[in-house]
């Protein structure tokens, strides 16, 4: 372990805008599922988010169905976004999200393929992170209407750290035939 390793035993990535210990950040999390009763997978993941240590679940968006990106021979996805407030560091939060994914039986099959649950850190305050394990804002955020639309439902004035408005990004984003569904 190096001096950057924390008590959980993994490295904190360097990132712009140092987080002071204990400072609370607003974090947007993307949820997606297209296997094993997707809506129930999202319900369960949101419940798990609400129970994470050092986190408060503030809100979640409606659920949306979308056409898959990547392989087309897979079911449509159900997507949503959640907003939490947390004092967890970005990498500690990522580890918790990966634990929730595993707990819900996520198995890696193929790139951009089917999954019971996918949890991504979309935005972490106004921070930009570019490390091997963690890229924030999420690298596909700009290209996915099923990410942008749920985020805008939570905050219609949301911007990326570089000031780009999500509303304007959605206007030029590929169409994945997004449909709001009953949750």
Positions that interact with ligand ADP (CB under 6 A): 94, 112, 118, 120-121, 133-136, 138
Q: How many CB atoms lie within 10 A of CB 29?
A: 25
The nearest distance, CB 30 to Mg ion, in angstroms, is: 8
Residue 11 vs 171, nearer CB to ligand ADP: 11
Binder of residue 19, out of Mg ion, ligand ADP, none (CB less than 5 to 8 A by kind): none
Smallest separation, CB 121 to ligand ADP (Å): 4
Cα dihedral angle (6, 81, 39, 101), rounded to 10 degrees?
A: -20
Burial tier of 111 (Cβ tally within 10 Å: 0-12, 13-18, 19+): exposed
Binding partner at 145 among ligand ADP, Mg ion, none, C-beta below 5 to 8 Å by kind: none
Residue 123: how many CA atoms within 13 Å on its side-chain side?
Answer: 26
Closest distance of CB 19 from ligand ADP, Å: 15
Distance (Å, rounded) from C-alpha 89 to C-alpha 83? 15
Quick one: tokens of 126?
Answer: 């106004």
Helix (H, G, I), strand (E, B) or coil at 112: coil
Examine the residue annotation and report whether 133 is marked as an active-site residue of this protein: no
Our answer to whether residue 130 is catalytic in this structure is: no
25 binds, options ligand ADP, Mg ion, none, Cβ within 5 to 8 A by partner type: none
Among 55, 120, 124, 178, indicate the residue that binds Mg ion (CB under 5 A). 120
Catalog residues that contact Mg ion under the rule CB under 5 A: 118, 120
């Amino acid at each position: 372990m190096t001096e950057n390793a924390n008590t959980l035993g993994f490295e904190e990535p360097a990132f712009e805008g140092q987080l002071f210990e204990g400072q609370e950040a607003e974090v947007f999390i993307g949820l997606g599922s297209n296997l094993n009763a997707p809506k129930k997978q999202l319900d369960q993941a949101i419940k798990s988010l609400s129970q994470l240590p050092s986190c408060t679940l503030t809100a979640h968006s409606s659920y949306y169905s979308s056409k898959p990106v990547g392989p087309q021979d897979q079911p449509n996805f159900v997507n949503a976004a959640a907003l939490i407030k947390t004092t967890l560091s970005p990498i500690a939060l990522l580890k918790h999200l990966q634990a929730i994914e595993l707990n819900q039986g996520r198995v890696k099959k193929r790139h951009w393929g089917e999954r019971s649950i996918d949890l991504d850190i979309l935005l972490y305050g106004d921070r930009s992170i570019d490390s091997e394990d963690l890229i924030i804002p999420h690298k596909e955020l700009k290209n996915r209407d099923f990410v942008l639309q749920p985020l805008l439902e939570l905050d219609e004035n949301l911007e990326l750290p570089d000031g780009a408005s999500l509303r304007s990004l959605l206007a030029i984003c590929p169409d994945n035939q997004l449909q709001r569904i009953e949750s």
